Structures are given as structure tokens and as C-alpha cells.
Structure 1
């Protein structure tokens, strides 16, 4: 999505930057890990396919993505590639029955050493707040592997509620409508600074 191509979002622990071609080799390296692909329900792609996917994320109006940088690593190195720890995405669609505009959220902290440091939590909160403020959406949803209890707990702490389980896909769906009470909670939970990229 071109909406964020010149946007950097700065939090306390993480910095979100647009997914660009320069990030693809490291991202491709992450996704060569079978366990990571299984956790994210991703298919293995060749490097040219990964570049095509990055281009699609940039151009398509129904996708929004940011690369997650460790703020400390970036401040030390001034090197985005060295500071990359994961990514966060939204897929936008409209519910045919209700007409609601839904953003399906994803977060991945790919670097093993960067897990458990609050990066995923802050990156996802920043993404939710940015999307709420810049996109016309009614509700967020996430689809998480049933065994990924850590992710389920994180989204439950964001006041998402489980709405269904699909055994055949081994997947649980949690949802969060955008309401005044939740907006207030989100604004208290995370502060973001938007800069030009």
C-alpha cells in the first residue's frame, strides 16, 4: 500500500519502516526457516518470488506492511538491515454479510534473540493505532495457530475476543471492534511518533 511508503513510526522499543526491496534478502533468509513458516502459515518462496511479493505489498491497496526494527540496534548501527527483527502486516477486506471493513493483523518477530523483549507487543500496538487513524476500518481480526498460545494471550491483552476455531486449519480467530472505549485504551497503551521516511 502506497499510504505508508514515506512513513516511519517511532515507538520506544521499535521503529516501523516501509517494506522495501533492500529488506528482501534478510526477509527471505528468515522465511527459509521451516519452523517460522509453519508459525506464520507461509509458503516457501524463491528470492525472485520474494521480491515480487514485496512489490505487491507496496502496490496493492488491500495490504499494509512495515518492517520492525529494534530501536536500540538501529540507534547503535544506523543500519536498517542489521536492526531488522520482524514485520507487521494488515490485510484489508469487507465482510460480505455485515459490510464491515476488516483489517486482518499479523506480527512476526523473526529474530530468535529479539523475542520476549516486548518488540512484538509494541509493534502491533503501533500498527493498530496507525491503521485506526489512517484507514477506514470497523474491526481488527487475527488468525493464529492453535498452538501459538503466546500470540493468543498477547491479542487477548489487546482486548481481542475469540470468535471461532477451525480445527481443519488448526486456527483460532480473535476480533476487536473499534469502539470509543477501546480507542481510549489504545491511546493510553501506546504513544507513536510519525516521521518522514
Structure 2
């Protein structure tokens, strides 16, 4: 999405940065994992296809993507984004009749960073970004029925089950951006520093 191509968001333990060309090779290595393919309902792509996907996502006004960096690693490596990459988070504006509704996703690909609240913080930052910058008023998530960790995480974020499909083996949960939910979100974000980088300084 062009609107976030020069946006970074600093949290307490993670940093969100736009998905750039420099991230593609590591992302491609992640997505060779059959576990991640299953969790994200993704098909394996060639490296060339992954580069094309990155370029299309950058321009697609219905797909907003950030790479998740571990903040400690980012600082320890002198702001080396590739070395600090641990996952990604996405918003898909899937309903052409309702541009205020988005499907949200979070993936922590680096297993050593799972269970450490990195995914929790990253998706909260993304939900706030979508609410404040994209005008999102309703979120939904689609999660595999066997992915109990993710289901429980979103339930803690006050998402409610809307439907489940035994055929697709997934459950759909949603949350409306009410004042009560917005207050909960703000109270659970420890740090949110929104930065706009100079385009000339950005790598592809």
C-alpha cells in the first residue's frame, strides 16, 4: 500500500517497517516452511514470484503490510532490518462495498520469538494504525481451527467468534472499533511512535 511505504512505527519491543525489496530473500526463506504455509494458508512461490509479490503489495491500495522487527536485535545490529526481521503483519481491505472493514493477519516466523508477546504487540500497533490512518471501523481474522494460540490471543483482544467452517477448517472472529474497544486498545499499547521517513533515504 503506497500510504505506508515510508512509514515506521516504534513499539516497546518491536518496530514495524514497510515491506521492502531488501526483505524479500529472508521472507522467501521463511515461506519455504510447510508449517508457515499451513498457518498462513499460503502457496510456496519462487524467489522471482516473491519479488513480484512485494512490488504488487507496495502498490495495491487494498493490502497494507509491515515487516515486524525485534527492537533489541534492530538496535544491536546497528539498525539492520534484515537481521532483525521476525515476522510480518497485514491488513486486507477485502470488501469493496465497505472500505472501512479489514482482515488482519500476524505471523511471527522466527520460532525463538514466539511466546514472547512480539506478535501481540505487533498486531496491536497494526490495529491502531489501521484505525487512525486507514479509517478502519471493523476488523476480522480468519484462523485455522487447530491454531489455538492465535484464537486465544485474539479473544483476549476482545474479538468475538462470527462463524466457523469445518470445510475450510477455520474460524472467523471480528471486532468493531467502538469507543470501549478503542479505549482498551490504547490502554494495552505501551509505546506507539509514528514516523514518516524521507523517501530519498528509503531502500526499495
TM-score bin (small chain): over 0.9
Q: 1:15 to 1:187 in 2, by over 3 A?
A: same
Whether the aligned pair in 2 keeps the contact of 1:162 and 1:173 (CA below 8 Å) is yes
In 1, the alpha carbon distance for the partners of 2:52 and 2:113 equals 27
Q: 1:180: which partner in 2?
A: 179
In 2, the alpha carbon distance for the partners of 1:69 and 1:3 equals 20
What whole-Å deviation, never above 9, does each CA across 1:10-57 have from its counterpart, x for those lacking one?
A: 001100000001000000000001111111111000001001111111
Q: 2:192: which partner in 1?
A: 192
Q: 1:169: which partner in 2?
A: 168
- Runs (4 or more) in structure 1 with deviation over 3 Å come to none
Q: 1:95 to 1:159 in 2, by over 3 A?
A: farther
What whole-Å deviation, never above 9, does each CA across 1:91-143 have from its counterpart, x for those lacking one?
A: 003375xx473110000000011111110000000000011000122200000
Whether the aligned pair in 2 keeps the contact of 1:95 and 1:102 (CA below 8 Å) is no
How far is the alpha carbon of 1:195 from its aligned partner? 1.5
Q: 1:5: which partner in 2?
A: 5
Whether the aligned pair in 2 keeps the contact of 1:7 and 1:18 (CA below 8 Å) is yes
What whole-Å deviation, never above 9, does each CA across 1:139-184 have from its counterpart, x for those lacking one?
A: 0000000000000000001100001001111000000011011111
In 1, the alpha carbon distance for the partners of 2:5 and 2:188 equals 25
Q: Could you say what secondary structure the match of 2:93 adopts?
A: strand
Give matches, 1:44-83, under 5 Å.
44-78=44-78, 79-83=80-84
Q: Could you say what secondary structure the match of 1:137 adopts?
A: coil
Q: 2:38: which partner in 1?
A: 38
Q: 1:101: which partner in 2?
A: 100
In 1, the alpha carbon distance for the partners of 2:52 and 2:22 equals 13
In 1, the alpha carbon distance for the partners of 2:110 and 2:168 equals 26
What whole-Å deviation, never above 9, does each CA across 1:78-100 have from its counterpart, x for those lacking one?
A: 2111100000000003375xx47
CA RMSD of aligned residues (A): 1.1
Q: Could you say what secondary structure the match of 2:94 adopts?
A: strand
Q: 2:135: which partner in 1?
A: 136
